[in-house]
Structure 1
Amino acid sequence: MNKFLPSLSALLVACATVFSAHAQEVKGDAKAGEKKIAMCIGCHGIQGYQASFPEIYKVPMISGQGAKYIVSALTAYQKGDRKHPSMRGIADNLSDQDMADIAAHYEGLGKVEAAPAPGKAADGDARVAALVSKGACVSCHGDSFSKPIDPSYPKIAGQHSDYLFVALKSYKTEGNATWGRANGIMGGVAKQFSNAELKEMAKYLSSLPGELKTVPQSKFK
């Protein structure tokens, strides 16, 4: 019994720590975030801008993306769970408050003249429907792929297909120092499919109506 008490105490402390972390979640300020995006607008503020590493693809649309997902993504770059030299360098220079403010800003951009939220996505052809069903994509990203079940998951409907393809492939990449994403859930999903199948899924998801967009920003305010 005495051996059990230290373990119970440790568990209680761990639970209290987790609760405290949630209670102290940083609240983002969109106005403050607008002044912190100098390193973002060069890629994410230009319509159709293309990245060239590890291959050529359009950078993701992040205006209208969920704030908690943006924070989650930036944190993953900072921790090295997402390996991308440029994004790692940017994230390393951001505090938790900076991330929250930037995320609030980009989430807010999507609410300007926003269209009604899309309903359940059309299934597409039978082959794509089977692939999406096999991946159980709706279980996290929602029936419309614009209303994820957890705000730390991304909206993916209407996102650039070439970006989605590169992102999905990155979850299959292991042991590369400069490219890849460490995520147990998405890794398990992506590894079920060939790259050709991932490209089909990315094309389908990109064709769906969504809430994501690029808001051009000509200068830093």
Structure 2
Amino acid sequence: MKQYLSIWGALLVASVTPAALAQEIKADAQAGAGKVAMCIGCHGIQGYQASFPEVYKVPKISGQNAPYIASALQAYKKGERRHPTMRGIADSLSDQDIADVAAYYANQAEQGGQAGQGSAVTAKAHDPSPDVAALIAKGACFSCHGEGFAKPLDPSYPKVAGQYADYLFSALKAYQHEGSGKLVGRNNPVMAGMAKQFTTAELKQLAGYIGSLPGPLQTIPEQRFR
């Protein structure tokens, strides 16, 4: 019972904190456009692949929820997410910068039209195999990310439908390393508890299915990269 309450307490903190920050700081997407110079070299190239500390495509973030982007950047800044490059970038941003950058990427998909991939949810999500359906039920994934993984129940949770499968797989593994001190670890008690239930092969199955779904996330190239 105590563990159950602690998980829901963490969920409450995760959902309240971004909202509280939003009341204190007014995000400016237009200002954010001038603050993404360090972002576009990876997130502004379709299919760009990171090579350290693990090889995977960098995530699509255009069209992602602004509160989630902001909370992720804050987590890198605090060391709750351990990735050397992202930690260095987040450390250079003020809270106002983070809010502006998050607003910019959340709004960029609407401005980018069909310039990116997966710019709209135009296809119906296909049903998972029985094995994957059992994994989704075991992880209670829909309780946060919503049916189809594209409509999270709170904007502080990410849209993940259509995200690169290899990135999702790497992120899920990172939650398994909570508290290990590894370069790729992520400290989130809810996601860590979920991810640690599964084998590596099962996480790969989940990531593959979620990545195959239609979703709103995009990578919109900068003009110089088109």
Sort the TM-score into its range (normalised by shorter chain).
0.7 to 0.9
1:32 is aligned to 2:56: no
CA contact (8 A) 2:53 2:183 kept: no
Structure 2 residue aligned with 1:129, among 128, 133, 137?
133
1:117 Cα deviation from its structure 2 partner: 4.8
Give me the whole-angstrom Cα distance separating, in 1, the residues matched to 2:21 and 2:53.
35
| Distance verdict in 2 for CA 1:43–1:130, change over 3 Å | same
Q: How does 1:70-81 map onto structure 2 within 5 Å?
A: 70-81=69-80
**Matched AA of 2:173:** K
Query: 1:59-92: CA deviations, max 9, x gaps?
Result: 0000110100000000000000000110000000
User: What is residue 218 of structure 2 aligned with on the other side?
Assistant: 213
2:208 corresponds to: 203
Question: How many residues end up aligned between the 2 structures?
Answer: 202
What TM-score, normalized to structure 2? 0.83
Residues 33, 47 of structure 1: alpha-carbon distance in 2 compared, 3 angstrom cutoff: same
SS in 2 for 1:107: helix
List aligned pairs for 1:122-201, cutoff 5 A: 122-173=126-177, 174-201=179-206
Change in CA separation of 1:152 and 1:23 when aligned onto 2, cut-off 3 Å = closer
> What is the match of residue 51 of structure 2?
52
Q: Distance in 2 between matches of 1:209 and 1:23?
A: 29
Q: 1:154 to 1:198 in 2, by over 3 A?
A: same
Q: For the Cα contact (< 8 Å) 1:128–1:201, is it kept in 2?
A: yes
Listed one character per residue, the Cα deviations across residues 23-50 of structure 1 (whole Å, up to 9, x for unaligned) are: 7332211110000000000000001100
Q: Once the 2 structures are TM-superposed, how far is the Cα of residue 178 of structure 1 from its aligned partner?
A: 2.2
Larger of the two Rg values belongs to structure: 1
Identity %: 61
Query: 1:183: Cα distance to partner?
Result: 0.3
- d(CA) in 1 for partners of 2:121, 2:57: 24
The Cα offsets for residues 138-157 of structure 1, whole Å up to 9 and x where unpaired, read as 10001121111111110000
The two structures have a TM-score, normalised by structure 1, of: 0.85
Question: How many angstroms apart in 2 are the aligned matches of 1:145 and 1:119?
Answer: 13
Give me the whole-angstrom Cα distance separating, in 1, the residues matched to 2:73 and 2:22. 20
Higher helix share: 2
Contact preservation (8 Å) 2:62, 2:106? yes
Distance 1:28 1:217 in 2: 22
The alpha-carbon deviation at position 52 of structure 1 amounts to: 1.1
SS of 1:171 mapped into structure 2: helix
Mind listing any 5+ residue stretches in structure 2 that lack a counterpart?
1-16
